[in-house]
């Protein structure tokens, strides 16, 4: 969607808003990811530093939650440049039932799905919500390829 003119983006946005409305018509009385017991917040909440090894188990508080994509930027919306129809919305790993305000309209501008300078930053509100509505579950650290290679004594260009 990032390479379209502003006029064409308005056409795509009209369809996208219909998809968002459809997603938000899906409701749950508890925050959750279908089929999972834990919630993992979108990257804008962890900021690469805050509780990066944590997921969250919702408490038994009932509420009104809607389905959110949570990373709905232009980079995750695949558009046919000829028809201006949305062919796909990708990267659903942070999708789930969250408060309606968790879904941010990052599709309105190019760039990452985080608040940029001059935009409302809701990170503290999201973190506060998690701590008030969920129990933190610290996940075991998963080693990356470089850590595995270092621990096994492999260095340089050697094959794994």
Whether residue 96 contacts residue 70, with contact meaning beta carbons closer than 8 Å, is answered with: yes
Per-residue pLDDT, 60: 84
Q: How far from the centroid of its chain's Cα atoms is residue 155's Cα? A: 35
The neighbour count for residue 138, using CB atoms within 10 Å, is 9
Quick check: is 159 in a domain?
no
Question: 58 with 29: CB under 8 angstroms?
Answer: no
- Residue 78 is assigned to a structural domain of this protein: yes
Report pLDDT for 160: 44
Report mean pLDDT in 10-residue bins for the chain, 160 residues: 86 98 97 93 89 92 94 96 97 96 95 94 96 94 62 54
Range of the domain at 95: 6-151
Number of helices and strands in the chain (H, E): 4, 7
Q: What local confidence, expressed as pLDDT, does residue 146 receive?
A: 60
**Total of domains in the chain:** 1
Interatomic CA distance for residues 10 and 135, integer angstroms = 40
| Model pTM above 0.85 | no
């Amino acid at each position: 969607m990032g390479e379209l003119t502003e006029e064409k983006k308005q056409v795509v946005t009209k369809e996208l808003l219909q998809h968002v409305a459809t997603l938000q018509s899906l409701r749950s009385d508890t925050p959750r990811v279908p089929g999972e017991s834990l919630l993992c917040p979108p990257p804008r909440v962890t900021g690469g530093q805050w509780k990066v090894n944590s997921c969250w188990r919702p408490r038994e508080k009932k509420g009104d939650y809607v389905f959110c994509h949570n990373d709905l930027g232009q980079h995750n919306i695949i558009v046919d440049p000829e028809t201006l129809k949305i062919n796909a919305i990708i990267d659903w790993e942070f999708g789930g039932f969250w408060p309606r305000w968790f879904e941010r309209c990052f599709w309105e501008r190019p760039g990452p799905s985080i608040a940029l300078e001059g935009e409302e930053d809701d990170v503290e509100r999201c973190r506060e919500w998690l701590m008030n509505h969920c129990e933190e579950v610290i996940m075991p650290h998963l080693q990356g390829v470089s850590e595995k290679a270092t621990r096994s004594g492999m260095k340089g260009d050697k094959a794994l």
